[in-house]
A and B are shown apart, each in its own frame.
Chain A
Amino acid sequence: NAGVTQTPKFRILKIGQSMTLQCTQDMNHNYMYWYRQDPGMGLKLIYYSVGAGITDKGEVPNGYNVSRSTTEDFPLRLELAAPSQTSVYFCASSSTRQGSTEKLFFGSGTQLSVL
């Protein structure tokens, strides 16, 4: 079972560069999420999606964009990288079938440094 797969695992960017963090899941989950985690802190929600073609902002969306063209994929785009975006990024997915009890499945994360 692949579950939630994130690529790349590590990346170093220069200020002002752009990149896309990839996330794909093979569990046919409707809901997908992007979180960031700064050192010693909990996770903060960046964007989420409840299905193909539908996305919405989370707690910290500034500087990021997302798209959801298929059920499986939910890429996160950084257009103009800034040092404040240095963080570990986690993608997650969940099924909607169990209402409030559905659990999240997380990827292994992408460590991003902006220098």
Chain B
Amino acid sequence: DAKTTQPNSMESNEEEPVHLPCNHSTISGTDYIHWYRQLPSQGPEYVIHGLTSNVNNRMASLAIAEDRKSSTLILHRATLRDAAVYYCILRVSGSARQLTFGSGTQLTVLP
């Protein structure tokens, strides 16, 4: 499976935008980019996914580089409830095996 690289930790102030980066230089043309987050003492939850174009949903935006070797998860206004570990994952097209989780980015939101 293709690997992803994320910073171990990031900090943000409450109500400010947060940009969480992810590098995936070995991505293949049909791999989808998925983001999940894990709140303290909970299971991971889906945030967003994309293939080539930028994507928006009620939780976040996903910006994908033109060469697809990197992507950025954007939280437009961080709240204290957004403090979590964020995982960037490549979903191998056509594979029944599920997502491989790295160690993710621990996001701390400061009041």
Docked pose: A108 CA to B43 CA in angstroms: 5
Docked pose: A58 CA to B49 CA in angstroms: 23
The answer to whether B93 and A99 have CB atoms under 8 Å apart is yes
Tell me the minimal C-beta distance from A56 to chain B in angstroms.
Answer: 8
A36-79 residues with Cβ-Cβ distance < 8 A to B are 40-45, 48, 50, 56, 58-59
The answer to whether B91 and A50 have CB atoms under 8 Å apart is no
> Which residues of A lie under 8 Å from residue B49 when comparing CB positions?
101, 103
User: Chain A interface: which size bin?
Assistant: 20 to 34
Neighbour of A43 across the interface among B30, B34, B97, B101, CB < 8 A: B101
The answer to whether B102 and A42 have CB atoms under 8 Å apart is yes
> Which residues of A lie under 8 Å from residue B103 when comparing CB positions?
40-42
> Which residues of A lie under 8 Å from residue B30 when comparing CB positions?
100
Neighbour of B97 across the interface among A40, A58, A106, A108, CB < 8 A: A58
Docked pose: A48 CA to B99 CA in angstroms: 11
Q: Chain A residues in contact with chain B, CB under 8 A? A: 4, 31, 33, 35, 40-45, 48, 50, 56, 58-59, 90, 92, 94, 99-101, 103-109
